[in-house]
A and B are shown apart, each in its own frame.
Chain A
Amino acid sequence: DAMVIQNPRYQVTQFGKPVTLSCSQTLNHNVMYWYQQKSSQAPKLLFHYYDKDFNNEADTPDNFQSRRPNTSFCFLDIRSPGLGDAAMYLCATSSRTTEAFFGQGTRLTVV
């Protein structure tokens, strides 16, 4: 049974058109992460939540925002997608000390 679910698996958006990616979890973990992974590169942490506390990485562009309305859900908003934002976006969850569980990712294409 999937524990970290990302929807959709594939997303096509137009250049400059806002897009939202979603992530849900059934593990009741208090930490949720968003990563960006470009082709042949390692996943790059964009930001993470510890409960409701938002932690942004210093080099995450302002174009990327996130919302966590409750424990189970977390959203990644890209305000004005550019061609360089095409990537796989990975969501993960963990408790403070357990391993992280990853979703299958959303592959974003910008046209």
Chain B
Amino acid sequence: DAKTTQPTSMDCAEGRAANLPCNHSTISGNEYVYWYRQIHSQGPQYIIHGLKNNETNEMASLIITEDRKSSTLILPHATLRDTAVYYCIVRVVNYGGATNKLIFGTGTLLAVQP
């Protein structure tokens, strides 16, 4: 199973872009990168995912390097409500069988400062 590595914590000023890095150097060709966040005492919330190309939705942008060994989640205009733990996850899918895992990395605590 591919593992992910993230910084333990980051700070960001309110209104500025938050750039959260993730290393997944052992990722396989058919594994997706997913990002979730978890606000204290709540269930994780899906943010975005991608395979090779950069992706953007209403919440964030995902930049994946060409070799797919790392990615960056970008929150374009961070607000205080974006303070949370952000998890970078590699989706393990066994198309030939019945396993379909979602393994969490260590996560980054993003603190948005006023």
Contacts and interface: CB of A to CB of B under 8 A. Distances in A.
Interface string B21-57: 0000000000000100000011111100100000000
A48 B44 contact: no
Contacts of A92: 43-44, 102
Contacts of A53: 98
Interface residues of A, number: 27
Interface residues of B, number: 20
Interface stretch (B67-75, B76-84, B104-112): B104-112
B46 A31 contact: no
A43 B93 contact: no
Interface stretch (A11-19, A65-73, A74-82, A98-106): A98-106
Contact of A42 (B34, B42, B87, B100): B87
B46 A42 contact: no
A61 B43 CA distance: 23
Interface of A: 4, 31, 33, 35, 42-45, 48, 50-51, 53, 55, 88, 90, 92, 94, 96-97, 99-105, 107
